[in-house]
Amino acid sequence: MHETLNNLYSSVIPLAVLGVTAFILKQLVANWSGSSNRGPFAPGPKPRFLVGNLYDLPSSDVAHHYAEWGRRYNSDILHASALGNHFMILNSFKDAEELFEKRASKYSDRPIAPVIKLMGWDSNMAFMPLGDEWRRHRRVAQQNLRQDAMVQYYPIQLEKVHRMLQGLLDTPERFDYHNKMLSMSIPMSIMYGHDLKSLDDPFIVAAEESAIMGLKLLQPGYTLINVLPFLRYIPPWFPGAVAQRMAKETKKMADMLRLSPMETVKNQLKEGTALPSMIAKYIEGESGYKEDEDVVGGLAFTVYSGASDTTISATSTLFYLLATHPEVQIRAQKELDSVIGTDRLPGFDDRPYLPFIEAIYREVLRWRPPTMLGLVHRASEDDMYRGYYIPKGTNVFANIWAMAHDEKKYEDPHAFKPERFLDADGGLNDDDRILTYGFGRRICVGKHLASTSMWLTIASILATFTFSKAKDQDGNEIEIKGDFYDSGIITHKNHFQCLILPRSETARRLIQEINTPTF
C-alpha cells in the first residue's frame, strides 16, 4: 500500500506542478490578451490577479445573476475570465441570433471538458465538440427527428399521455409521479421500445442517479477537473477525490443506459418480441442509412437524457401555473369545447385550430424555461462583435431567462399571460421561437418531439381536468409558493399541493374508456 501511494505521489506531483504552471500562464494570458489593438472585452466585473473573476461567477441561480450583471454594467453582452478561461454571456436575443446563427461557423463548437469524458457523457451529442462524430450523430438525428417524421411517433405519444390521464384520475395527489412517468416513458419507448411500467425500473433509477451526480459535476465551481485537467488522473479511491468517485459512478450508469438497452433490443429481435423503436429499426437495417451502433446508441442516449428531465420541468411548471391561474383554464377549456366538443380527446390534427392552447405552450416555456442558461458554445476562432474582442476558445452562453423576460419585447414579463402570443383577432402572432431549444446548429435535436409531446399533454389535461389550490381540513385554500430550484442545468418547480379533479362525468368516462394499445 505504501509503495502504491509513493508511486502515485511521484506521478501526480509533477503533473500538479506542470498543471498549476500552465494554469498561471493561461490566466495571465486570459487577463491581458484583450490588448488595445484588438479591442476591449465586453463589460463585466474587474478581474483579480491570477484568479480573474473566479469569485464573481455565480454558482446558483446563474441566469438571474447574469441578468443583474446586465443592469449593473448597462450591457446585454458581458465578459468574465476565471482560471484561464474566457466567458461571454448574451442577455439579448439579437446578439445570440447574430453569433450562434448568422456566425454559426464560428460559434457551433463545444468546449472539451475532461469531466464529461470521465462521466461517460461524451457519447451525448449535446456535449460533443464540433467534428465528424458530431456530424454523424446529427445526420441520424435529422433523419429520425425532423418535423415531418413526427407522425410515426404519434401513437406512442397518445398512448403515454392517455396513460397519464388515467393516473391523474386514479391518484391525482401523485401528479409528480405521473409527470415523471410520462416524461420518461415517451423517449424510452420511441428510442428503445421499452414500455415503462414503474419508476423503479432499473433504467430509470440509473438515469436519475446519473443525472443528479452529472449535473452537479457540471455546475460552475463544483470541481476543478475542467480547470486543472491533470486532476482527472487522480484515482477515485484517493482521499478527497469526491468528484472522481462521482464521475466514475456516473459513467457506470451512463454506460448501462447506453449499452444495456441496445443489447436488450437485440435479444428481443432474436426472440421476436421487440417493439418498434429507433434502435430496432437500425439494427434490422430498415432505416435506409448505415451508421455504427455507437452513433445510434449515442443519439438514443442523447434524446432520452435530454427529453426526460426538460419535459418533467416544463410539465411541473404547467401544473403549477394552471393551479394558480384559473382564468387561463376557463379560456382554454372554452376553446377546446368549441373546437373538439366534449365527446372525444384532443388529437394532433386539432393543433392548428386551437390557438390559445398553442399560446399556453409558448408561454409556459417562456415564463420558466427548463434551461434558464443555454448549453455553452465555444468560439472556434478570434472574433470581433459590436466593438468587443472575443478570443478563440471563449465560452459563450445564451441567457435564455433574460431573453424570455426582456421588458422591451414582453410587457409585464414576469406575469403568466398566454394571450401575449395572440393577435387582435385571437389568432397566433409570429412570435413562435421557443428559446429554451437553443440556437443555430446546436439547437435541440429533439425539439419537434418535445413540442408535440408538450402540446398534447397541455391539450389533454385541460380537456379532462381542472386544477386548483388544495384545501386544508377547514376548507381554506393552501397557498402555493412560487419557488423553483436549479439542478445545475435544468430548473424545477419545488413540490407543492394542488387539487386535480375531472371536469365532468363525461371527462371521467372518456378517460376510463380509453383503449390504450401496446406499441
User: In whole angstroms, what is the distance from residue 167 CA to residue 174 CA?
Assistant: 8
Which three cell numbers, joined as nine digits, stand for 195? 414500455
CB-based contact 247:233 (threshold 8 Å): no
- In the block, residue with C-alpha cell 446508441: 297
What is the DSSP track for 245-274?
HHHHHHHHHHHHHHHHHHHHHHHHHHHT-P
Beta bridge partners of 12: none
CB-based contact 493:320 (threshold 8 Å): yes
User: In whole angstroms, what is the distance from residue 345 CA to residue 255 CA?
Assistant: 39
CB-based contact 403:435 (threshold 8 Å): yes
Q: 444 among the known binding-site residues?
A: yes
If you count them, how many residues does the chain have?
Answer: 519
User: In whole angstroms, what is the distance from residue 375 CA to residue 99 CA?
Assistant: 14
CB-based contact 470:328 (threshold 8 Å): no
User: In whole angstroms, what is the distance from residue 172 CA to residue 175 CA?
Assistant: 5
Residue 48, phi then psi, degrees to nearest 5: -90, 160
Which three cell numbers, joined as nine digits, stand for 370? 427548463
Residue whose C-alpha is closest to residue 193's, from 123, 98, 132, 271: 271
Q: Which amino acid is at 32?
A: W
What is the DSSP track for 207-223?
HHHHHHHHHHHHSTTS-
Q: How do strand 85-90 and strand 377-378 relate by DSSP bridges?
A: unpaired
Annotated binding site: 444
Annotated binding site for heme: 444
